Structure 1
Amino acid sequence: MAIEPPSELIDLQRASDAAHAAVRQNPCDETWAAWRERAGEVQAAVTVYAEEIGEPRNQVEAAVKKRARYPEPTGS
């Protein structure tokens, strides 16, 4: 069964990825703190969702990251 994570998880992962990019641009205490907070939110939400759907957490996390980082192209 393919895992189709909800858009809320995709959005959380994208926010975490953006916070990580900010750390790479400006590695200061504030950007590190923001990234840790975003990453923690993603981890918590993935854990809850994995439990809800009865799938392994690591597989849900991989599906979320894939959808967030490599979105499927829309028809044009």
Structure 2
Amino acid sequence: MAIIEFPDDLIALERSAWAEIQRGELTVETARAVHEAVTAFAEQAGLRRMDVELGLKTLVRYETAA
């Protein structure tokens, strides 16, 4: 998979969703917002949505503290 340069706002949105998931409080609104943002970014970048989603989740869920 190619390295994808994600915009900061998309990363922040996924971080919010991940925090909600960890608390057991993910809302439909947050999930929908992430899905729509990922889809829009994938279309704009000419990438497969699944590749974008996987890359974004991997970045956020496995990032190391600096």
Looking at structure 1, the residues matched to 23 and 64 of structure 2 have their Cα atoms a distance apart, in angstroms, of 25
How do 1:42-61 residues align onto structure 2 when only pairs under 5 Å count?
A: 42-61=34-53
Number of residue pairs the alignment of both structures matches: 65
Q: Structure 2 stretches of 5 or more lacking a match? A: none
Looking at structure 1, the residues matched to 15 and 27 of structure 2 have their Cα atoms a distance apart, in angstroms, of 11
Paired letter, 1:61: E
Match of 1:7 in 2: 8
TM-score normalized with structure 1 length: 0.73
Q: Structure 1 stretches of 5 or more lacking a match? A: 24-30
Looking at structure 1, the residues matched to 55 and 36 of structure 2 have their Cα atoms a distance apart, in angstroms, of 15
Root-mean-square deviation (CA), in Å?
Answer: 1.7
Max Rg structure: 1
TM-score normalized with structure 2 length: 0.82
**Percent pairwise identity:** 35
Match of 1:38 in 2: 30
